[in-house]
Amino acid sequence: MNKQTDWHLMTATEAVKMLKTNSKTGLTESEAARRTTTYGSNVLTRTKGESMLHLFLKEFHQPLVYILIIAGISVGLLQEWVEMTVIFLVVMINAVIGFLEEVKALKAIKSLSKSLNATTTVLREEGKKLIPVAELVPGDIVWMQAGDRVPADVRLIQAREFQVDESALTGESIPAKKQVKSLEKNTVLADRSNMAYASTLITHGVTTGLVVATGDDTEIGKINEMISSADILATPLTQKIAGFSRFVLWIILVLAGLTITAGILRGKELSEVLLEGVALAVGAIPEGLPAVVTITLAIGVSRMSKRKVIIRKLPAVETLGSTTVICSDKTGTLTQNEMTVQRVLAGGQTFSVSGEGYRPLGHFTLEGATAEKSDPIKGQEYKALMELLRAGLLCNDARLLEQVQNWQLEGDPTEGALLTSALKGGLILQEQQEQLPRLDEIPFESEYQYMATLHRTKASAPMMYVKGSVEKVLAACTNSLDWNHQTRPVNYQEIHRRVNEFGGEGLRVLAFARKELPNATKTINHSDVKEGLTFLGLQAMADPPRPEAISAISACKSAGIEVKMITGDHVRTAAAIAKKLGLANGNLENTEVTGAEMSQANEAQLVHTAQEKTVFARVSPGQKLALVRALQGEGHIVAMTGDGVNDAPALRQADIGVAMGITGTEVVKETADIILTDDNFSSIKAAVEEGRRVLDNLVKFITWTLPTNITEGVVILIAAMLGLALPITPLQILWINMTTAIFLGSMLAFEPLEPDVMQRPPRNPKMPLLTKSLTWRIFWVSGLLVAGVYAAYQFAIGMGASTQQAQTLCVNIIVFGELFYLFNTRSLEFSQFKIGFFTNPWLIVGVLVMVSLQMLFIYVPFMNQVFGTAPIGLKSWVVVLALSALLYGLVEFEKAIKRWRKYGTFSSHDAIHRKQKDSLKPMSGLH
């Protein structure tokens, strides 16, 4: 195939002929396979990303690592080879951990792109089928509609009100209107209105097209504007960590400078004071912080994926923990998405329909009938009912496939319910399609709120069937069909009464109509639907709430998160479902509002409505966007769910855009921050839990690690200022920092959810990582460790121990103090006994490994020689364990005092119980 072929110059027929295909039957599977061999798969050759070497070297580009490298070079110049080797080993270990996590993240992104691989509808061997976009070949006939991404370069064959957002290709922000006629040869790319190009977004209408180029031969492939690597995003969390690192960097430089200056003023050797400066720098650096942050985030993302949540944008991990309002779609997210027609109005008569789901087992019963007539009816005896069911059967794009144990739906759940009700009434799809073949259609779009199909009849003029919202369809009706299949004036009052009755029961109501058109009619447009319709009746269906959504909403309320339902359903239907879900604010009435009412509100009224109302029915895309902005204007952190292209603006505006992985369009998935692979609201609640766990565990690690660094830095500073011997050496400090960070601190990343994680208000993103109370705890724990180190050192020297034994004792004071403090830090508020000693098995493993390594550090001669340590006796161990137990007890005592002040009880169990009780009260706002 000539890559320079001017497809826009040809007519559609000429293009089809040139590619040796058939617009009515499509390619055969064997021919498609042959063309795949010729042209290759419809994928783009990815540009080469960063090399593994570059990724590895980036791990050294951190302020805290710079200090370690300078420290290593400094001790190397002093020919302290062991210290230099260990320092560089520490730097290397950090780099390797970060590098491995980076590679893991890149693999996850690659895996994500596979798991979200797009599909398209193609005509093969006279039948439509859904195939992966990668399997398209030149000559394929594809069908596309609003919300899809164009899968390849396509010459349009048929198009109706078709518009495409080509901004990714042409830079033009206004969607391009498309048609099928041939164009001039010199028509520029942006003006080729008979072409649709790969990766552009369909914003309106429906089309059938001929694939003319795939993969790298497409226009977007030629200019190579592909997303070949993930953006590196600076999140508020990483910015806080970076800011914290810079702060620590300057503190370390100042203190190290003071240490060296004090040593020089005391007349010490330059090599000695440099070693003291290096010791302080090494001790004060939280070497494990970058690695633990990376590991914690990676574990959080992994946990979320197991709970049906895919994180597309890193800020979502953090923001989820701060969400205050969730605006959720109803259908399929809060409900089961298995619609079942339960009541029908036809010919002025109302019928009940039995059966559930898509299995066509059930029958119709005439309501209000006598006992004798309350048995199942024969649908053929009720002509108006059969015409209503026929409209629902033919004005329908769904398919029901019988499986071994159930019926599988392909298409929209509402249309699936209509197919099922028609089958229950005795209609057979294939027979009806043969008797009334479809000539044309107007697909459903939210802007018009209806769908229409045109059918050829054998005995009369073409018939147009219409289904859609009651408001739109009824407004276009001039008469109705009665029980005897005769037309009569529309009884608007009775119809609206039935609509309200059905809606009050939580049923979704669709209206149906028909219209005979002139014999020569072969196509239809929106003007044909505006007036002159004959009203056929109503079908009312239910989509029951998901049981897990009810409990998830309750949990969100306990967590101070408001849940608002946004739906296209009738307001009464939406209100009934909201009541079943428990969405109402306490016992307040009138918690719903319609899009029409919102359009009449001024800005102040809209803000009040957004705050006070819970159910938003019949809202437009612009109103969804306004709703999100109004909530954000009041300081809320908003999560917004969506699945259709019309949801994209609101998802983009929201703090957290949540796309549906099953029903969501490609536009929405690319806009969203997270994707729910099961389209289930309970997965949002799970994501909030995991987001809060990630933040909790990062704060726990920082609260745990800083006392070690402060203790080591202050110990060195005091020794330099007062001219005392160093209780711990630089090499011993490195041993403490790396072993405890890896085998103790990093285990906090695996901590389970706190018992109160969904009973506390959302966290304010502007709030610092460490609260004042935690900062106070860090300083007094550090002070206790510093005092313990100097007291132990003097005790050991006073007992006649060697310098090496005294230093070994001091190392153990810090290591075991941090080990006991680790158990305090597993919960920053509650007792270790409440959360359980064995709820984090990885932590127990880490503690056992750390203790084993410490025994080697103390009692193995080789380790004694390398680190300048010496074996210690029983008395020393008594001192170590006594001081560690004292530290543990004081921290638990402090937590108990805070529980008393906050909850009026020392008991963790009672505190959690009271917190859960308080969470049942209305709670909103940021913590």
Helical (H) or strand (E) element with 480? strand 477-481
What is the C-alpha separation between 586 and 588, in angstroms, rounded?
Answer: 6
Matching residue, tokens 């580009």 = 61
What is the C-alpha separation between 142 and 159, in angstroms, rounded?
Answer: 12
- Tokens found for residue 373: 């007539």
> Helix (H, G, I), strand (E, B), or coil: what is residue 263?
helix
Helices (H) and strands (E) in the chain, counts: 33, 27
Number of residues assigned to the chain:
927
Q: Which residues contact 534 (CB under 8 A, 6 or more apart)?
A: 477, 478, 479, 480, 481, 487, 513, 514, 515
Beta carbons within 10 angstroms of residue 303's beta carbon? 17
Do 168 and 128 contact (CB within 8 A), yes or no? Answer: no
Buried b (16+ CB within 10 A) or exposed e, 662-700: ebbbbbbbbbbbbbbbebbbbbbbbbbbbbbbbbbbbbb
Buried b (16+ CB within 10 A) or exposed e, 61-79: ebebbebbeebbebbeebe
**Backbone CA torsion sign across 681, 682, 686, 691:** positive
* Bridge partners for 759 per DSSP: none
Active site residue 231: no
The DSSP string of 677-693 is: TT--HHHHHHHHHHHHH
Which residue in 148, 165, 329, 679 is the catalytic one?
329
Q: Which residues contact 521 (CB under 8 A, 6 or more apart)?
A: 439, 454, 461, 462
Cα–Cα nearest to 814, from 698, 889, 704: 704
Residue 514 vs residues 205, 466, 490, 529: alpha-carbon distances, Å:
22, 6, 14, 9
Interhelix angle for 289-306 vs 681-722, to 10°? 170
Q: Kindly tell me the burial class for residue 519, based on how many C-beta atoms sit within 10 Å of its own C-beta (0-12, 13-18, 19 or more).
A: exposed
- What residues are annotated to the active site? 329
